Amino acid sequence: MSPKSKPAAADRRARSEQMKAEREAAARASERRTRLLVAVAVIAAVSLVGVAVALSRSPSTASAAVPTGVEAPAGGVTVGDDSAPVVLDEWVDFHCPACKVFVEEFGSTIAEQVEAGTLQMTYHPLSFVTPTGSKLAANAFGCAVDQGKTVEYHDAVFAAQGSEADEFTNEQLIEIGAGVGIDNEEFASCVNDGQYEGWVQSVAEAAVDQGVTRTPTLFLDGEEIDPLPQDAEALREAIEAAAGQE
């Protein structure tokens, strides 16, 4: 083999390896999108039944205690600059598998947009996928908000999500809090006492009023994103378009 042919062969191998890596990355992205879409389809059916059952069993929540910064009994938890030009509302259940996939795929993009001052994010924790664990997790999320760990706790609970049969317990939710730097009696008492159970129920009622029928559901500046973005880049482009950056 001549000296000139060796680099050429090496270049071909490099291009071949690069193309293989790109195909594999595209396949993984396609698989993740499929997981998200399939999970959403499954949870949609659960949502319609679960919300109706939950509301039929609950008393009025007009005077419910709310986490720090929440302005109304049915309000969500907002993070980001008040002057951000775009608002994204996220309706999720901490036991929802599609929501877990959504956080894995889109969480970093949302965080970047919030950090850049482009986006204000509002979290609405729902509570119907499992009989007990969903409500406990939503309540614990409110307790974490009081501790200034809104996003950290939100993401950590989804990271710890198991199967629907493996419901969250208060003990586990307190341990998750410790993992993000919440290690005090105030948080533990809030979780164990169900301090925000009324608020959790109010958010469920608000979901019905808002027409939310599946999780995750997103509203960008008040308009539902349906279908959900195929990937993080599509979400980023939608946010930037809404902000007038295109």
The string of DSSP codes covering 122-136 is EEEEE--SSSSHHHH
Provide the 3-class DSSP secondary structure of residue 119.
strand
Q: Which of 98, 179, 100, 171 is nearest to 140 (CA)?
A: 171
Please give the Cα distance from 125 to 104 (Å, whole number).
17
What is the predicted pLDDT for the residue at 31? 56
Digit-by-digit pLDDT tens for the chain (246 residues) are 555 555 666 667 777 677 766 666 555 655 555 455 444 444 444 444 455 444 444 555 667 899 999 999 999 999 999 999 999 999 999 999 999 999 999 999 999 999 999 999 999 999 989 989 999 999 999 999 999 999 999 999 999 998 766 899 999 999 999 999 999 999 999 999 999 999 999 999 999 999 998 899 999 999 999 998 989 999 999 999 999 975
Tell me phi and psi for residue 120, to 5 degrees. Answer: -110, 125
Q: At what angle do helices 150-160 and 133-146 cross, to 10 degrees?
A: 150
Give the residue carrying structure tokens 């109304």.
72
pLDDT confidence of residue 214: 87
Cα separation of the two ends of the chain: 52
At CB < 8 A and 24+ separation, what contacts does 6-9 make?
none
Yes or no: domain 5-242 corresponds to CATH 3.40.30.10: yes
